[in-house]
A and B are shown apart, each in its own frame.
Chain A
Amino acid sequence: MSRHFTPKVITANDLMLGDAIWLTEDDRWTRDIAEAELIEDEAHATIRLLFAQAQPEIAVGPYLADAKPGTTGPQPIHFREAFRTRGPSNYAHGKQVEV
């Protein structure tokens, strides 16, 4: 059996707006992590990351971020990734009010 793989989502910043985006299973980019593809296989993650990296006109700096399944879809694990789904804590700006 292969070693344990923490599930991942692919995330990046949008080229034009600069905000956080996530790659969906049907090859779209979404602003809601719950719609992202939760990748549970390492080899598949590599292929999906290559796919994301091939879209520099949309996504800047795509990377794999640890995630876990939630009731409505993938959820972030690290607090940095959680902030990216919401926006800053000092103002109601960003995704917490826009998405």
Chain B
Amino acid sequence: MYVYNDFDEAFVRERVAQFRGQVERRVSGALTEDEFKPLRLMNGLYLQLHAYMLRVAVPYGTLNPVQMRQLAYLAETYDKGYGHFTTRQNIQYNWPKLADVPDMLEALADVGMHAIQTSGNTIRNVTADHFAGAAADEIEDPRPVAELLRQWSTDHPEFQFLPRKFKIAVTGSPTDRAVTKAHDIGLRMVRDASGAPGFEVIVGGGLGRTPMVGKVLREFLPKADLLPYCEAIVSVYNLLGRRDNKYKARIKITVHENGIDTIRSLVEAKFAELRPVFAGFDQQLLTQIEGHFAPPTFRSAPTDSYEAARLANPAFRSWSDTNLSAHKAEGYAIVSISIKKHGATPGDATADQMRVMADLAERFGHGELRISHEQNVILPHVHKSDLAAVYAVLREADLATANIGLVSDIIACPGMDYCALATARSIPVAQDIATRFEELKLEHEVGPLKIKISGCINACGHHHVGHIGILGLDRAGVENYQITLGGDGSEDAAIGKRAGPGFSADEIVPAIERLVLGYLDLRAAPDETFLQTYRRLGIEPFKAILYPAAATEEKANAA
């Protein structure tokens, strides 16, 4: 893992000191709220419905146990004993007091963390595949490149006042677990004809009120050209992006309005200018960074005890069927810890749970933890012979829910329970869906299904790329939920289609139940997933399930 050097350390400490002074000046009245707001946002501090909210960056979702314990300490000392892991691999604290925030930032700096550029019209935390460095299908660990991008983009003088926020995601595998096609820049590692690794560069993806799947700007970019090429993209956007209308300011609109070919020629021209300027320093830096991400020394040991435990304990077997993924090293597995216990708030972990996960990473996981954009926590490197012990500890801590990738593994933004921008609540809808499917005991039979819920059009809950997406709106002063179907955040990214009129808060959970049960009748075989069935049949049969009255009427009219 990357460790701060003296420069990073001094920079972060200086920012904490600056922010401490800014808070003091705001409290004394020397700064107005209008003056203070951009300063607090630069440091990740929002003012929400019930309190301030501090968004802490977890760079590319990677944490070490010491950092996780510090997050637990912050939760306990300055919040209400928990933290909320977000869809951008960050953590948010929902209840800090203004006067405490400089101390919180100081505590973060103690473990090489910060909240810089987690807000504002800047390049935000670079996200990455949460299985980076562990996935069996990976070409290379994308995190050194993500760290290079982080260093380049942090406090980059040219990019502190972009037309709008800017998000970059990187994946080292052909399988896209980082939703790269829904980012301003998506980087997907591929190989050229000679086998050399590089990136497919995708630009102009995004969700929000105008959802768009990113377009390929360059089919193959050599790894060594990444930084000048990204700088060229952001430079072109910085000049061309619209500042007259907030809703048209993201690069997806710039690409849409100017056309990908125009953007490509502008980027290539700028790249030709920039490339010689980089002169190799970025590559030296990358080599240094790569040294920090050397894979752990994997051990070789028998896995018989794992197989025996699977046979002996059905609950363990169910959990290992659902929550493990293939690891690149023999005898190892990737463990996804579900932060989605049925009925609990998606992504919320208590301070005690954070400590348990930190301990597990230390004892059994080569000291590594990841936060996934799906709001779960990953132990990327666990030897199979340790899995039964890991499971036992997780069970004790209420962290052993076997539901990864299933109906109840729901992404949900904080919604109107916390967020000042929200138009409806998301959390209770997620809680109720998960609780209902737990009662039905059906989710394992249903199989892979991604439900994603946003509490407003800004789509922090990624509803557009949910196989079932739910969007909470305010319709004449009442919460109302729109369903979209067929979205996909993978390498085959697709934006979901709206199914029809929205449902009230009372109707939405029964509607989802109807939809999922209806899918079980529609699927061609037990292994045909919801998304495959949708792609085979189209939206109509699902509409008929969602709106039975309308379907009956239509039939009657046709007859």
Binding site for B on A (CB under 8 A): 13, 15-20, 56-57, 60-61, 77-80, 83-84, 87-91, 93-95
B333 contacts partner chain A, Cβ-Cβ < 8 Å: no
Cβ contact within 8 Å between B428 and A79: no
* Chain B 7-37 per-residue mask, 1 if CB under 8 angstroms from chain A, else 0: 0000000000000000000110100110000
Inter-chain contacts of B425 with A (CB < 8 A): 89
Bound together, the chains give a CA A82 to CA B253 distance in angstroms of 36
Binding site for A on B (CB under 8 A): 26-27, 29, 32-33, 47-52, 80, 94-99, 345, 348, 416-418, 425, 427-428, 431, 474, 477-479
Partner of B50, one of A15, A77, A87: A87
Inter-chain contacts of B26 with A (CB < 8 A): 15
Cβ contact within 8 Å between B50 and A94: yes
Bound together, the chains give a CA A20 to CA B416 distance in angstroms of 14
Cβ contact within 8 Å between A18 and B478: no
Count of A-B residue pairs with CB < 8 Å? 71
Partner of A18, one of B52, B427, B477: B52
Give chain B nearest CB distance to A79 CB in angstroms: 6
Cβ contact within 8 Å between A83 and B49: yes
Bound together, the chains give a CA A79 to CA B49 distance in angstroms of 12
Inter-chain contacts of A79 with B (CB < 8 A): 416, 474, 477-479
Inter-chain contacts of A80 with B (CB < 8 A): 49, 416, 474
Inter-chain contacts of A17 with B (CB < 8 A): 51, 97-98
Partner of A90, one of B49, B98, B99, B417: B417
Bound together, the chains give a CA A77 to CA B428 distance in angstroms of 21
- Beyond A57-B29, A61-B33, whether A18 also contacts B417 by CB under 8 A is no
By beta carbon, the residue of chain A nearest B343 is A90
Write 12 A-B pairs (CB below 8 A) sorted by A numbering: A13-B47, A17-B51, A18-B47, A56-B32, A79-B477, A83-B49, A84-B49, A87-B50, A90-B345, A90-B417, A90-B428, A93-B50
Partner of B97, one of A16, A20, A90, A93: A16
Inter-chain contacts of A20 with B (CB < 8 A): 49-50
Inter-chain contacts of B48 with A (CB < 8 A): 18
Closest 6 CB pairs of A and B: A88-B417, A18-B52, A18-B51, A94-B50, A90-B427, A90-B345
Inter-chain contacts of A60 with B (CB < 8 A): 33, 47
Bound together, the chains give a CA A18 to CA B52 distance in angstroms of 5
By beta carbon, the residue of chain B nearest A77 is B477
Bound together, the chains give a CA A51 to CA B47 distance in angstroms of 22
Bound together, the chains give a CA A6 to CA B27 distance in angstroms of 34
Give chain A nearest CB distance to B160 CB in angstroms: 24
Given contacts A18-B50, A89-B428, A95-B50, 11 further A-B contacts (CB under 8 A): A15-B27, A16-B98, A17-B97, A18-B48, A18-B98, A60-B33, A79-B416, A79-B477, A89-B425, A89-B427, A90-B345
Inter-chain contacts of A78 with B (CB < 8 A): 477
Cβ contact within 8 Å between A93 and B95: yes
Inter-chain contacts of B99 with A (CB < 8 A): 16
Inter-chain contacts of B52 with A (CB < 8 A): 18
Bound together, the chains give a CA A60 to CA B32 distance in angstroms of 10
Partner of B98, one of A15, A77, A84, A95: A15
Cβ contact within 8 Å between A93 and B427: no
Cβ contact within 8 Å between A61 and B47: yes
Bound together, the chains give a CA A80 to CA B94 distance in angstroms of 17
By beta carbon, the residue of chain A nearest B431 is A90
By beta carbon, the residue of chain A nearest B345 is A90
By beta carbon, the residue of chain B nearest A93 is B80
Give chain B nearest CB distance to A62 CB in angstroms: 10
Bound together, the chains give a CA A88 to CA B420 distance in angstroms of 12
Bound together, the chains give a CA A2 to CA B389 distance in angstroms of 74
Bound together, the chains give a CA A78 to CA B425 distance in angstroms of 13
Cβ contact within 8 Å between B477 and A89: no
Give chain A nearest CB distance to B9 CB in angstroms: 30
Cβ contact within 8 Å between A19 and B50: yes
Bound together, the chains give a CA A56 to CA B48 distance in angstroms of 17
Inter-chain contacts of B428 with A (CB < 8 A): 89-90
Partner of B416, one of A77, A83, A94, A95: A83
Inter-chain contacts of A91 with B (CB < 8 A): 80, 345
- Beyond A90-B428, A90-B431, whether A19 also contacts B417 by CB under 8 A is no
By beta carbon, the residue of chain A nearest B46 is A18
Bound together, the chains give a CA A88 to CA B47 distance in angstroms of 15
Bound together, the chains give a CA A19 to CA B96 distance in angstroms of 10
Inter-chain contacts of A88 with B (CB < 8 A): 50, 94, 417-418, 427
Cβ contact within 8 Å between B29 and A18: no
Give chain B nearest CB distance to A54 CB in angstroms: 12
Give chain B nearest CB distance to A45 CB in angstroms: 20
Bound together, the chains give a CA A78 to CA B49 distance in angstroms of 14
Inter-chain contacts of A15 with B (CB < 8 A): 26-27, 98
Cβ contact within 8 Å between B416 and A19: no
Inter-chain contacts of B417 with A (CB < 8 A): 83, 88-90
Cβ contact within 8 Å between B29 and A56: yes
Inter-chain contacts of B431 with A (CB < 8 A): 90
Bound together, the chains give a CA A15 to CA B51 distance in angstroms of 9
By beta carbon, the residue of chain A nearest B53 is A18
Bound together, the chains give a CA A46 to CA B479 distance in angstroms of 30
By beta carbon, the residue of chain A nearest B417 is A88
Cβ contact within 8 Å between B27 and A16: yes
Inter-chain contacts of B27 with A (CB < 8 A): 15-16, 57
Inter-chain contacts of A95 with B (CB < 8 A): 50
Cβ contact within 8 Å between B50 and A84: yes
Bound together, the chains give a CA A26 to CA B29 distance in angstroms of 23
Give chain B nearest CB distance to A61 CB in angstroms: 7
Bound together, the chains give a CA A20 to CA B428 distance in angstroms of 22
Give chain B nearest CB distance to A8 CB in angstroms: 16
